[in-house]
């Protein structure tokens, strides 16, 4: 049993078993319980279990070995939820992680015993996550059951040629050898609350064939099943390879800078505010801010950007980034268990609980499908002999064949395998998608709405012109403006503050600043009210004819305007402009090629929005306040499948309102929380890739379901007619499972076509 330690939010997959304590009383709110939950996995409201006895619950984590398909996760959950003292059990197949919330009286040893009793392996922290990969045992121990069974069957086949009398006992011995691990697993699962498992079906079929004297077929059935299980295991490991590679990006150790020099510490001991040193060729163990003047980082594993990126002092850095050129010092900004890689892994885990509607339907379907097939097989075996005096052996044999045909493995794995592969592929491309539901919805999108600033444009506006109106002076106006906008993160505010700094003008100290949502900022100076807003928020009577002319002329030049009002007088008019992103045209063109209509929603004046929309060839709605954007999204959502693309901070309400919200930016908390998807690389061309990947996933899911059900339908008829036997039934089931898995793994090779659109667009423009 792995040592139980206080939760420190370590890298997922390295701290294999740990726990945290969470005390809850009847007076605590759900939000307080959420705040006290583990950092390693964000607990949702559904995870909160009321505690009327004022006891403390404990949250524990393990990695689980031996899971070949998503149904294995359900079997473990079923086994654990039957235990007294287990408040909740949640298994994530993609990351092989188990989370269990226990009462204080329940020991972790009891949980581990139950996991082993169900036929799976709880992996402890034996070697810092480096030696616990599934399949880390010797090659012989892994393949011995299959090879021994094959050897016994070959010996029996040879005996049938030279010593015919020895063949049946050898085939019987082979059958019993192959049946032992399968029957034991079936018994374990039945005791754990999963009586209708594939192992149960195989055990019944093999024993039935043995009793009917069909020993060669019984042995062949078991051999094909064991080979199929091994193929499923290999396919599952391949699908998880991207997740494991992501886990491996974050190093276990770090060099912390102290007063005495450099100190080598565990990465989990780092806290926000610590300073670390990273050498060329090393990866960042945390999110941070660059303290060195300049350094180049390879961020391809996080953003999909193939070339190293130069970062300047003060710029944010993501965990897992590879330092390319010089030694650099970094200030830690992420808490343990909450860096960029952890959040990506959390999204992939969350994807399993936020499954696509089609996946949820198949899960419900499979719950009654297997018992129904067992009932059908029983009727096939008993009805003809009892009602029609047919041959018992013939119809029992056909019932056994039908029992194997009814195995739902291929059907159950058809959707999760495709979704997991798609999410891993999307993560590699710098696209984070919150689960199968969002992935499925992306493929249905026919309209995509965009915020302008920071989404279609660079988000770095520059001050182009300042008009000062008497009796005010330029230095006075810039000082007041910088004082109002100081500390704001809005791109326009930053541009105004930088303009004052460039002229050496210090911000005017103000007693207070109050943000007016969707309107501007207000304050007070020398007993007079101050207001910073767009001219659209000013009464027409406040502007003179000259000032109105200036406003109209600047708007005609596609500038974004900001006005400073002192008392009742317009003191200054600021004209700013923001250039389009370099990939904006290519991104829009790629979406339009997919028959997706594009629409720009902006609070700017029509004169400023129109040239940008015209350059991109899209529709626009301008002069929208935040509530106006929401109203437009609600209206459009009645007739269209709508996605909203924004920065994830200013547009959080709009992102939540749309069918699919997509945030631009490098995986910030607000972006991930508000949106259904996020582009870590902030490239608009990734939007088309996300839609194409979604459509490809849906197509493969349909193919998989058709393949799984089609093969079953064919062999259902042929088995009842006596055309196919037991071994062909298993071959069909194993083959279907292998085929749907291999078909789903094609999504791992998904390549973006956005670069093609970008090149074509640039060529046309030239």
CB 58 within 8 A of CB 19: yes
Q: Give the pLDDT confidence of 3-19 residue by residue, as tens digits.
A: 333 333 333 333 344 44
pLDDT of residue 279 exceeding 50:
yes
Q: Give the pLDDT confidence of 578-617 residue by residue, as tens digits.
A: 788 888 898 999 999 999 999 998 877 787 788 888 889 9
Fold of the domain spanning 18-123:
Alpha-Beta Plaits (3.30.70)
- HSE-up of residue 596 (Cα within 13 Å, Cβ side): 29
Fold of the domain spanning 462-577:
Calcium-transporting ATPase, cytoplasmic domain N (3.40.1110)
Query: Is 451 in the active site?
Result: yes
pLDDT (mean) for 665-669: 51
pLDDT of residue 103 exceeding 70:
yes
Give the percent of the chain with pLDDT over 70: 76
Start-end of H helices in 248-338: 300-303
Helix axes 726-745, 392-405, angle to 10 degrees: 10
Residue (of 68, 59, 4) closest to 33 by Cα position = 59
Between 517 and 190, the more confident residue is 190
Catalytic residue among 298, 451, 647, 733: 451
User: What distances in angstroms separate CA 484 from CA 454, 478, 614, one per listed residue?
Assistant: 22, 10, 34
pLDDT (mean) for 429-455: 82
Q: Give the pLDDT confidence of 539-562 residue by residue, as tens digits.
A: 888 888 899 999 888 888 778 888
Between 307 and 31, the more confident residue is 307
Strands 253-258 and 261-266: antiparallel
- Exposure string of 440-454, with b = 16+ CB inside 10 Å and e = fewer, is bbbbebebbbbbbbb
pLDDT (mean) for 282-304: 82
Q: Give the pLDDT confidence of 371-427 residue by residue, as tens digits.
A: 777 788 888 889 999 998 888 888 888 887 777 776 666 676 677 778 878 877 887
pTM: 0.56
Residue (of 268, 314, 322, 309) closest to 291 by Cα position = 314
Q: To the nearest whole number, what is the mean pLDDT of the chain?
A: 76
Three-state DSSP state, 58:
strand
pLDDT of residue 268 exceeding 70:
yes
Task: Return the HEC string of 655-696.
Answer: HHHCCEEEEECCCCHHHHHHCCEEECCCCCHHHHHHHHHHHH
- HSE-up of residue 29 (Cα within 13 Å, Cβ side): 3
Fold of the domain spanning 253-337:
2.70.150
User: What distances in angstroms separate CA 347 from CA 197, 238, 432, 658, one per listed residue?
Assistant: 29, 19, 7, 19
Domain positions in the chain are 18-123, 253-337, 462-577
Q: Give the pLDDT confidence of 44-86 residue by residue, as tens digits.
A: 333 333 343 434 677 787 888 777 666 677 788 888 888 888 8
Looking up tokens 């051999």 gives: 223
């Amino acid at each position: 049993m792995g040592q139980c330690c206080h939760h420190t939010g370590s890298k997922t997959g390295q701290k294999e078993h740990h726990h945290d304590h969470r005390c809850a009383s009847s007076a605590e709110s759900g939000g307080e319980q959420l705040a006290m939950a583990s950092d390693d996995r964000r607990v949702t409201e559904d995870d909160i279990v009321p505690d009327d006895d004022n006891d403390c619950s404990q949250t524990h984590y393990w990695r689980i070995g031996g899971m070949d398909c998503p149904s294995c996760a359900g079997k473990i959950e079923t086994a654990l939820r039957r235990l007294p003292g287990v408040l909740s059990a949640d298994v994530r197949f993609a990351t092989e992680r188990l989370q269990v919330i226990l009462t204080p009286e329940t020991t972790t040893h009891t949980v581990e015993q139950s996991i082993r009793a169900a036929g799976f392996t709880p992996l402890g922290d034996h070697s810092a996550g480096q030696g616990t990969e599934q399949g880390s045992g010797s090659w012989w121990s892994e393949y011995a059951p299959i090879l021994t069974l094959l050897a016994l069957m070959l010996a029996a086949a040879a005996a049938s040629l030279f010593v015919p009398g020895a063949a049946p006992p050898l085939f019987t011995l082979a059958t019993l050898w192959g049946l032992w691990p399968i029957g034991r697993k079936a018994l374990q699962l039945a005791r754990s609350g999963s009586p209708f498992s594939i192992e149960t079906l195989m055990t019944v079929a093999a024993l039935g064939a043995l009793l009917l004297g069909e020993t060669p077929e019984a042995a062949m059935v078991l051999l094909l099943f064991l080979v199929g299980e091994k193929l499923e295991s290999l396919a599952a490991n391949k699908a998880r390879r991207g997740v494991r590679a992501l886990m491996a990006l974050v190093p276990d150790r770090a060099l912390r800078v102290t007063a005495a020099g450099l100190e080598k510490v565990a990465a989990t001991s780092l806290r926000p505010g610590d300073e670390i040193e990273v050498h060329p060729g090393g990866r960042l163990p945390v999110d941070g801010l660059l303290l060195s003047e300049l350094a180049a980082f390879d961020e391809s594993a996080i953003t999909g950007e193939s070339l190293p990126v130069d970062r300047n002092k003060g710029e944010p850095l993501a965990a897992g980034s590879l330092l390319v050129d010089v030694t650099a010092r970094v200030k830690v900004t992420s808490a343990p268990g909450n860096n960029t890689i952890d959040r990506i892994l959390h999204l992939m885990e969350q994807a399993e609980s936020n499954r696509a509607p089609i996946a949820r339907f198949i899960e419900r379907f499979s719950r009654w499908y297997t018992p129904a097939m067992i009932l059908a097989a029983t009727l096939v075996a008993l009805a003809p002999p009892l009602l029609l005096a047919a041959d018992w052996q013939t119809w029992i044999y056909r019932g056994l064949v039908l029992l194997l045909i009814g195995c739902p493995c291929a059907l159950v794995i058809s959707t999760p395998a495709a979704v997991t592969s798609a999410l891993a592929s999307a993560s590699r491309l710098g696209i984070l998608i919150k689960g199968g539901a969002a992935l499925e919805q992306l493929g249905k999108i026919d309209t995509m709405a965009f915020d302008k600033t920071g989404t279609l444009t660079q988000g770095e506006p520059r001050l182009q012109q300042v008009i000062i109106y008497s009796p005010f002076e330029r230095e006075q106006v810039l000082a007041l403006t910088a004082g109002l906008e100081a500390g704001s993160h809005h791109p326009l505010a930053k541009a105004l503050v930088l303009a004052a700094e460039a002229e050496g003008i210090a911000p005017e100290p103000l007693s207070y600043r109050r943000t007016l949502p969707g309107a501007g900022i207000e304050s007070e100076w020398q007993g007079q009210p101050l207001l910073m807003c767009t001219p659209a928020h000013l009464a027409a009577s406040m502007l003179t004819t000259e000032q109105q002319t200036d406003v109209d002329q600047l708007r005609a030049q596609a500038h974004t305007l900001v006005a400073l009002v002192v008392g009742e007088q317009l003191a200054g008019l600021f004209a700013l402009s923001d250039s389009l992103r370099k990939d904006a045209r290519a991104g829009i063109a790629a979406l339009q090629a997919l028959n997706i209509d594009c629409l720009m929603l902006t609070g700017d004046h029509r004169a400023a929005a129109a040239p940008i929309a015209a350059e991109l060839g899209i529709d626009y709605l301008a002069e929208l306040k935040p509530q106006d954007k929401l109203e437009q999204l609600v209206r459009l959502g009645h007739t269209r499948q709508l996605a909203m693309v924004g920065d994830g901070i200013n547009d959080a309400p709009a992102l939540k309102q749309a069918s699919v919200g997509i945030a631009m930016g490098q995986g910030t908390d607000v972006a991930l929380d508000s949106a259904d998807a996020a582009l870590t690389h902030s490239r608009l061309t990734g939007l088309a890739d996300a839609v194409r990947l979604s459509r490809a996933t849906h197509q493969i899911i349909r193919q998989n379901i058709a393949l799984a059900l089609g093969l079953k339908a064919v062999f259902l008829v042929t088995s009842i007619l006596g055309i196919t036997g037991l071994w062909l039934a298993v071959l069909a089931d194993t083959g279907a499972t292998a085929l749907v898995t291999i078909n789903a793994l094609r999504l791992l090779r998904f390549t973006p076509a956005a670069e093609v659109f970008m090149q074509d667009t640039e060529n046309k423009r030239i």
